[in-house]
């Protein structure tokens, strides 16, 4: 990799959930900038196909490794692969995500909700019949978006600490995480109390959420009512980002809302392209030394939590 005519050390990156969507495009953009990227996917065939599509574009430094963020054995196997092949890691992009709902896609499309209504949360009454939160999907969503990120990060931290250029962790979040969207002031304060926050407190919040979901008391509990599980999964992910940033001051650790992007995750309701959506994650992955840490980015700009 050459910067201002000087050869800079090779950088190694991992992107999770990278067989499609924003993850695949993040791999493409990082590899185009000279980073050696491990493209990971839970499904081997989908991952290998995605990797070959990048090889065909000339991005031959991209390598594939299987990773299911729900499976500790798969995570350990990835960590071993990186240690044996590269000896360290410079960039981790936690991108894999789940929506936490069951959707009737045809009926959702027929509603033809415009992006402004969707993003503001005003669509909440329109979608009641077509987007359903089930307990099973909620557990899967929290397990992927919060606990999955924690598992992968904890397994790769020893390799990130060996980075010679300064490690970067990028947690792909969502505007649904924003504290102003949470109805309970107490919960907002809890999630914003960076001095006392830790993993135990975040787990307790998620346990409380699942309890309220089971008891049909999300409204009384003050949770977001628009995509409630997804929202709290990303709000706790942001809080975890801040906990980590405080704990590892030698790294740059941030979370980023990629924008409202046309992907499978939102049933292709988003107007932005994946090229536009990957810009924020790529910017956070390549921040210069001394850059921001413990921040939330709305696409490519720092924003309030």
Ligand X SMILES: NC(=O)c1ccc[n+]([C@@H]2O[C@H](COP(=O)([O-])OP(=O)(O)OC[C@H]3O[C@@H](n4cnc5c(N)ncnc54)[C@H](OP(=O)(O)O)[C@@H]3O)[C@@H](O)[C@H]2O)c1
Residues that bind ligand X (CB under 6 A): 16-17, 19-23, 41-43, 46, 67-70, 95-98, 144, 148, 172, 174, 257-258, 260-261, 263-266, 270
* Cβ-based nearer residue to ligand X, 10 or 63: 63
237 burial level (CB within 10 Å; 0-12, 13-18, 19+)? buried
Q: What is the DSSP string of 242-276?
A: HHHHHH-TTSEEEEEE--SB-SGGGTT---B-HHH
In this structure, are residues 232 and 204 in contact, taking their beta carbons and an 8 Å threshold? no
Q: Which long-range contacts (CB under 8 A, 24 or more apart) does 130-136 make?
A: 130/103, 130/104, 131/101, 131/102, 131/103, 131/104, 131/227, 132/101, 132/102, 132/103, 133/100, 133/101, 133/213, 133/227, 133/228, 133/229, 134/101, 134/102, 135/210, 135/213, 135/214
Catalytic residue from among 12, 135, 146, 230: 230
* Cβ-based nearer residue to ligand X, 86 or 118: 118
* Cβ-based nearer residue to ligand X, 224 or 263: 263
Nearest-approach distance from CB 49 to ligand X, in angstroms = 11
Q: Cα 59 from chain centroid?
A: 23
Rounded CA separation 176/16 (Å):
20
Rounded CA separation 259/255 (Å):
13
Q: Tell me the residue number closest to ligand X, measured at CB.
A: 21
In this structure, what DSSP letter does residue 305 have? -
Beta-carbon contacts of 119 under 8 Å, excluding residues fewer than 6 positions away, are 175, 260
Rounded CA separation 5/152 (Å):
35
Nearest-approach distance from CB 268 to ligand X, in angstroms = 9
Nearest-approach distance from CB 16 to ligand X, in angstroms = 6
Whether residue 146 lies in the annotated active site: no
Rounded CA separation 11/31 (Å):
10
Cα–Cα nearest to 242, from 183, 186, 193: 193
Nearest-approach distance from CB 153 to ligand X, in angstroms = 14
* Cβ-based nearer residue to ligand X, 133 or 263: 263
Nearest-approach distance from CB 2 to ligand X, in angstroms = 30
* Cβ-based nearer residue to ligand X, 119 or 165: 119
Nearest-approach distance from CB 95 to ligand X, in angstroms = 5
* Cβ-based nearer residue to ligand X, 245 or 265: 265
Catalytically annotated residues: 230
């Amino acid at each position: 990799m050459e910067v201002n005519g000087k050869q800079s050390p090779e950088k190694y990156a991992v992107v999770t959930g990278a067989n499609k969507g924003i993850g695949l495009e993040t791999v493409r953009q990082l590899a185009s900038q000279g980073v050696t990227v491990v493209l990971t996917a839970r499904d081997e065939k989908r991952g290998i196909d995605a990797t070959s599509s990048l090889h065909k574009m000339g991005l031959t430094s991209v390598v594939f490794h299987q990773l299911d963020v729900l499976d500790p054995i798969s995570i350990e196997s990835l960590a071993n692969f990186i240690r044996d092949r590269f000896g360290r890691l410079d960039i981790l992009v936690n991108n894999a995500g789940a929506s936490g709902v069951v959707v009737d896609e045809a009926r959702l499309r027929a509603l033809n909700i415009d992006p402004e209504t969707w993003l503001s949360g005003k669509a909440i009454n329109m979608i009641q019949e077509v987007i359903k939160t089930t307990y099973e999907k909620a557990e899967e969503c929290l397990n992927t978006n919060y606990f999955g990120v924690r598992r992968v990060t904890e397994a790769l931290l020893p390799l990130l600490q060996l980075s010679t250029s300064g490690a970067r962790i990028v947690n792909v979040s969502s505007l649904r995480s924003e504290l102003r969207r949470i109805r309970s002031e107490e919960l907002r304060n809890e999630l914003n109390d960076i001095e006392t926050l830790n993993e135990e407190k975040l787990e307790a919040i998620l346990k409380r959420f699942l309890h309220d979901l089971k008891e049909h008391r999300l409204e009384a509990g003050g949770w977001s009512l628009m995509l409630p599980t997804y929202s709290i999964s990303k709000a706790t992910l942001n809080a975890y980002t801040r906990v980590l940033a405080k704990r590892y001051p030698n790294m740059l650790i941030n979370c980023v809302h990629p924008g409202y992007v046309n992907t499978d995750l939102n049933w292709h309701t988003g107007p932005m392209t994946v090229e536009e959506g990957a810009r924020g994650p790529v910017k956070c992955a390549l921040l210069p030394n001394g850059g921001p840490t413990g921040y939330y980015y709305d696409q490519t700009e720092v924003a309030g939590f």
